[in-house]
A and B are shown apart, each in its own frame.
Chain A
Amino acid sequence: MDGTPNPRRLLLVGDTTLDPLAAALAQAPGGPTLDAAAAPYGQVYQILMDPSHPAWQPEPDYLAVWTSPQLTLPSLNAALRFQSADPEAVVAEAKEFAAAVAAAAQRVRLTIVPSWILPAHERWVQSMTWRHGGIANLLARANLALADAWAGQRNILMLDAAHWQSSLSKPSHDPRMYAVAKVMYTPAMFGKAAAEIKAALRGALGRSRKVVVCDLDNTLWGGILGEDGAAGIRLQAPDPVGECFVAAQEALKALRNRGLLLAICSKNDEDHAFSVIDGHPGMSLRRGDFAAWRINWEQKADNLRSLSAELNLGLDSFVFLDDSPEERDQVRALLPDVLVPDCPASPAAIAPLITALDCFETTTISAEDAQRTAAYQAERDRRAAASPGADVNSWLASLDLRVRASPLDPSSLPRAAQLLNKTNQFNLTLRRAEENAFAAWASRPGNSVYVFHIADRFGDFGLAALASLSAENGGVRITDFVMSCRVMGKCVEEAILAYIVERARELGPGPIVAPATEGPRNEPARRFFAGKYSGAGAALSLARISRPEFITVEATAPALVPAL
């Protein structure tokens, strides 16, 4: 429930030996740093059901439960051996397992469960496998029973081990190692599992990448625009090379649809490039799909820095796609925070590369995600609307800024948790919390969380800020003050602070404090609050807090959903 640094402890529980997974997790690249330990194998129910089992010491942060259906579900095992086929029994056993996992999940921050799979060599009777009672049919029912049982539980992430299995070029299971040491999976499968478990944890912790910056020539289309001309680039069926670039664009568009920002960084003539982007019939991505661009002859590393400033997002949230090894090397060398995947030489491999990237993991996709690119475009319009001579206050006044405040409720929880975990700059205390933990904290007596929807005449920022209060020592502490970087620079924080100070006043007349946590990037929030004290006082100075006149604040109670 706090921002405690690494490593985090992960308990691995399975019906086979999972020590190689612990080793693979230690070697897998990327955060978070994990201290993974495998419990003795074959005691799944004992460990899940018994909080006093020694496996729970020391207390883990996370739990992963990886079992095999043939060992965990006796009825499925019987069906596998043609002894019986009882779908109801399989589902009942799956539900029993789901309940045990759900109970254990309450002891940790997050639980990860790979779906049940069978070894690829198990072909059973293919002609009957999807029939009622067939093994594929039973396995699907069992997995669906788990997914349904945990549908309302955001603290359990069910991952798709069938995808892991099919992504490998080698077998996933090794009967030799099972015979020797009850190790069911191959090193390749453990490696994939480790990578995916870490990706899932990064997603839950809000550590995913947010921006994809693409080159144009031989990345979004085939050929070089400056040499081949708009008519000569390859970007359409029936040209197979053109088809591959269409597929690459579609893959990027899917990322945009789920909240990633796309940007362009290309050495080209900007007008010429936009003549293609706006007008070429083969383009899937259009100008409106890009949040920002640098189409010029500058160094790409400089352009990426400037895109980072424009989008107000750190380079550690950037991914850079470029077909040129030289450009990739330059960016890797100068901007080590940027993720630079090796771009394949074959056009056919670009779309698969994009769809296989595990750096965009998330546990929720919010309405704000779907509107994100439009929001950045609105921001460009806003800046353009500011006439060069006008002062900033009249520009702000012209925006017609509106803030709608409401208590946190179940409908706003996923986005609020996303905001809490992803925001680095305007974040007073940098507290991180998985959804469930945040909801539990919010519902404790003395604590309250408010969320803020922000809009202006150019568009809707959605739920873009949150603040929480805790009654403490006769006064009130501002425990969180988090605002999306997209609404920075508009004095919205002044209006929000004024609003929550009013709420704090309702709790009592004691001092209101807002101790900051110093992080590498949250200077904007700390600086803002530093200006709200007078002299050396430990409490906020109310005289320095007021709502700007040009911002409207409206409070809404949650309509039909109970507050948390």
Chain B
Amino acid sequence: MTDDLAHFLESLRPGLGDPKVGDFFAQGVLDSLGLITLVSSLEERYQIFIDVADIVPDNFRNLAAIRALLARCGATVPEGGPRTIPR
């Protein structure tokens, strides 16, 4: 499935929008500092708050994990292609 989230993640960092990657950390797509930047970017784009307990590698290991986290945080991720969200 390619949706706004996958496009957005891919725009942040190549590989991050790829649903076939099982572990962003193991495959060198993300590190701990990249994680911090990712959290800020997701918060800004989807107008959510990711609490400290959720800022752990398991929640960002792959696209499915990130999607699940966003759902728990109440984010609305538009389906279909990329969408411009007003900042």
Query: Chain A: residues with CB nearer than 8 A to chain B?
Result: 17, 19-20, 23, 175-177, 179-181, 183, 186-187
Minimum CB distance partner of B53 in chain A: A176
B11 at the interface (CB under 8 A from A): no
> At the interface, yes or no: B76 with Cβ under 8 Å from chain A?
no
Evaluate contact between B52 and A23: CB separation under 8 angstroms: no
Task: Determine whether the beta carbon of B33 is less than 8 Å from that of A176.
Answer: no
Chain B residue at minimum C-beta to C-beta distance from A180: B55
**Interface residues contributed by chain B, number (CB under 8 Å):** 11
Cβ contact within 8 Å between A176 and B40:
no
A selection of 29 A-B contacts at a CB cut-off of 8 Å is: A17-B33, A19-B33, A20-B33, A20-B36, A20-B37, A23-B37, A175-B52, A176-B51, A176-B52, A176-B55, A177-B36, A177-B39, A177-B55, A179-B52, A180-B32, A180-B35, A180-B36, A180-B52, A180-B55, A181-B32, A181-B33, A181-B35, A181-B36, A183-B33, A183-B36, A186-B40, A187-B37, A187-B40, A187-B44
Query: Which residue on chain B has the smallest CB distance to residue A17?
Result: B33
A19 to B36, CA, bound (A): 11
Bound CA–CA A411/B45 (angstroms): 53
Complex Cα gap A175–B55 (Å): 12
* Chain B nearest CB, measured from A25 CB (Å): 14
The residue in chain A whose Cβ has the minimal distance to the Cβ of B56 is A180
Residues of A close to B39: CB separation below 8 A: 177
A176 cross-chain contacts in B, Cβ below 8 A: 51-52, 55
Contacts of A179 in B (CB 8 A): 52
Q: Which of A17, A20, A181, A186 has the most CB of B within 10 A?
A: A181
Contacts of B40 in A (CB 8 A): 186-187
- How many whole Å from B16's CB to the nearest CB in chain A? 15
User: What are the residues of chain B within 8 A of A23 when measuring CB–CB?
Assistant: 37
Q: In the complex, what residues of A have CB within 8 A of residue B35's CB?
A: 180-181
**Cα(A17)–Cα(B31), bound, Å:** 14
Contacts of B52 in A (CB 8 A): 175-176, 179-180
Docked CA distance A180–B52 (Å): 7
20 other A-B residue contacts (CB within 8 Å) besides A20-B33, A181-B32 = A17-B33, A19-B33, A20-B36, A23-B37, A175-B52, A176-B51, A176-B52, A177-B36, A177-B39, A177-B55, A180-B36, A180-B52, A180-B55, A181-B33, A181-B35, A181-B36, A183-B33, A187-B37, A187-B40, A187-B44
A183 contacts which chain B residues (CB < 8 A)?
33, 36
B73 to chain A minimum Cβ distance, whole angstroms, is: 13
Closest CB of chain A to B63's CB: distance in Å? Answer: 21
* 8 Å CB interface, B29-86 against A: 32-33, 35-37, 39-40, 44, 51-52, 55
Q: Mark B5-44, 1 if CB is under 8 A from A, else 0.
A: 0000000000000000000000000001101110110001
Q: Of B36, B51, B55, which is in contact with the most chain A CB atoms at under 10 Å from its CB? A: B36
**Complex Cα gap A187–B42 (Å):** 12
- A181 surroundings in chain B (CB, below 8 A): 32-33, 35-36
Residue of B with least CB distance to A188? B40
B14: min CB distance to chain A, Å: 16
Residues of A within 8 A of B32 (CB): 180-181
CB distance from B31 to the nearest CB of A (A): 10
A176 and B39 CA atoms in complex are apart in Å by 11
CB distance from B32 to the nearest CB of A (A): 5
Task: Report A41 CB to chain B, min CB distance, Å.
Answer: 11
| Chain B nearest Cβ from A89, distance in angstroms | 33
* Docked complex Cα distance between A176 and B54 (Å): 10
Closest to B43 in A: A187
Query: What residues of B have a CB within 8 angstroms of the CB of A187 in the complex?
Result: 37, 40, 44
